[in-house]
Chain A
Amino acid sequence: MSKFQFPESIASRPVYGTLEPRPGKAHLMIADAEGAEAILDLAAQNKGLMSNTHIIFIPKGTDFSDKLRALKPAQYYEGPSYPASVQRIRKVLGDAHMGLQVYLAGTEGLMGQAMNEAVSAGIPASAIQTEHRGSVARRMQCVHCKGITEDVVTDPFVCSHCGLNLFVRDHYSRRLAAFQGVCIDAEDPGNVPESVELYK
């Protein structure tokens, strides 16, 4: 089961929905890993959608590629990672016109970063659809050294840049597409609670 119900949280935390087909001149779908399932569900609702759809997919070790290709989208691109795909995303958005619908699915890190690209290209955030699927891992920014640690699944965790023990907050930055990690043992160095899996 790739769907996860996030607990209620502060207003800063993004809320994701369920992708639905919308009228548009062109469609751009960006997904990673289990996010592919959301695209497969979307395509099942409207078979005609794929003839003017561009799919950008980052498999992250999953095997959805053949199923997505079988949808016969107008264009299909598979990237080894998000940083490797972002040039493509920028090019597609730069060439796009009004009437483009953007659909984002998969992990929070992927959706947040792709959302940033779409918003800076001129699409209002509220008009971009998102659906969370798969890993609940978070993209975290260390508020002390500003380094980003990807795919964080435990709380607290060790900053991959400066080595501080960081507490995982729900406080989110849309600009950085990252949650805030704050030193948990600043007052009493070394007094670090046992690390637990997120949402457990």
Chain B
Amino acid sequence: MSAAPQKAKAGAEKIAVTVSAVVPLNDLVTRFEFKRTDGADFPPFSAGAHTVVEMRDGERTRLNPYSLMSDPADRSIYAISVRRDDQGRGGSLFLHQKVKVGDTMTLTYPVNLFPLDLRAKKHVFFAGGIGITPFMAMIAQLEQSNGNWELHYACRTETLGTYADELADHHPNKVHIYYDDQSQAIPLEELLDGQPLGTHIYVCGPAGMIDWVHNTASALGWPEENVHSEEFLAPQPGKPFEVRLCQSDITIQVGEHESLLEAMERCGVDAPFLCRGGACGQCETDVVEADGEFIHRDHWLDDEEHASGKKIMPCVSRFVGKTLVLDR
């Protein structure tokens, strides 16, 4: 990080946008399209990138990451597709219920934690449900360069198959759809058998699907470097706890329904972050003192680091116990 300019504020740089379209796709998923409020082009992004959407919900500021699913070659819009989660923390409900065409919002510059490996001789995508979104951009990007790809997409039902018809119409030989309610399942072992050397696979979907693909590929002798996945975690509620931040010299309370990172921000601490979903590693924080149990939920630290009690990812992880002092 030597030559990189030091940013004044945590998180990626921000862009002021205006909502240009709200397109309901089915009962659960709606697409939101944004144009820059200043009328300029958006910064280019590589397929697989996400943006963090800032939502002003009354007193509360919500920051949720969503994969950019528009064509990376089209710099006039950014689009995200959001699945409504009625049991979630409220970010997706806010977008579905409150956001209208013409509203002004703030997005962050795109950050890519799920890029295509362009050395691959072939790309095979596995999508589960709303996990289709990063692949929409990847397919658009690979179609521009005549890339070798195929998609295997599992959806619950035909009516909930977001973009399934569109994809199957445009790429009938490359897109394979599997409907749960018709007892169709991705024949993973057969698909992994016989792929040419240099094939890379990408999976985005529920945690169980991601583990299934990783474990099956590894048992069949696939190098882990050829298996890519992305899963954003939403912070889970938990018992409130107290944290001392020794650099800032304050003690803060983390509420039941907020993350440690959100509590720090609420108290005016400018803590670093990028993805807010336990994947990027930006918010990694050193533990100075701890008497209690960590509830680690991130994908960033390894098992050894989790067990050491020396580090925590405040975007998704929590703590239960008497004292916690962080170097922040």
B-binding residues in A (CB < 8 A): 22-25, 93, 96-101, 121-124, 126-127
- Separation in Å of the B197 CB from the closest CB of chain A? 4
B224, closest chain A residue (CB): A127
Q: Provide the residues of chain B in CB contact with A100, threshold 8 Å.
A: 197, 221
Q: A124 contacts B220, CB within 8 Å?
A: no
Q: B196 contacts A24, CB within 8 Å?
A: no
Q: A98 contacts B222, CB within 8 Å?
A: yes
15 A-B residue pairs with CB within 8 Å: A25-B220, A25-B221, A98-B196, A98-B198, A98-B199, A98-B226, A99-B221, A100-B197, A121-B197, A122-B121, A122-B198, A123-B197, A124-B226, A126-B223, A126-B225
Q: How far is the CA of A124 from the CA of B224 in the complex (A)?
A: 9
Q: Provide the residues of chain B in CB contact with A99, threshold 8 Å.
A: 192-193, 220-222
Q: Provide the residues of chain A in CB contact with B121, threshold 8 Å.
A: 122
Q: B225 contacts A22, CB within 8 Å?
A: no
- Separation in Å of the A22 CB from the closest CB of chain B? 7
Q: Provide the residues of chain B in CB contact with A127, threshold 8 Å.
A: 223-226
Q: A97 contacts B196, CB within 8 Å?
A: yes
- Beyond A25-B193, A99-B192, whether A124 also contacts B223 by CB under 8 A is yes
- Separation in Å of the B320 CB from the closest CB of chain A? 38
Q: Provide the residues of chain B in CB contact with A22, threshold 8 Å.
A: 221
- Beyond A24-B221, A99-B192, whether A93 also contacts B226 by CB under 8 A is no
Residue B39 lies at the interface, judged by CB distance under 8 Å to chain A:
no
> When A and B form their complex, which 5 residue pairs have the shortest distance between CB atoms, in order from nearest?
A122-B198, A24-B221, A127-B223, A124-B225, A99-B221
Q: How far is the CA of A22 from the CA of B197 in the complex (A)?
A: 17
Q: Provide the residues of chain B in CB contact with A126, threshold 8 Å.
A: 223, 225
Q: B223 contacts A122, CB within 8 Å?
A: no
Q: Provide the residues of chain B in CB contact with A96, threshold 8 Å.
A: 197
Q: Provide the residues of chain B in CB contact with A93, threshold 8 Å.
A: 197
Q: Provide the residues of chain B in CB contact with A25, threshold 8 Å.
A: 193, 220-221
Proximity string of chain B (213-238) to chain A, C-beta cutoff 8 Å, 1 when within and 0 when not: 00000111111111000000000000
Q: How far is the CA of A62 from the CA of B260 in the complex (A)?
A: 65
Residue B195 lies at the interface, judged by CB distance under 8 Å to chain A:
yes
Q: A122 contacts B197, CB within 8 Å?
A: yes
B124, closest chain A residue (CB): A98
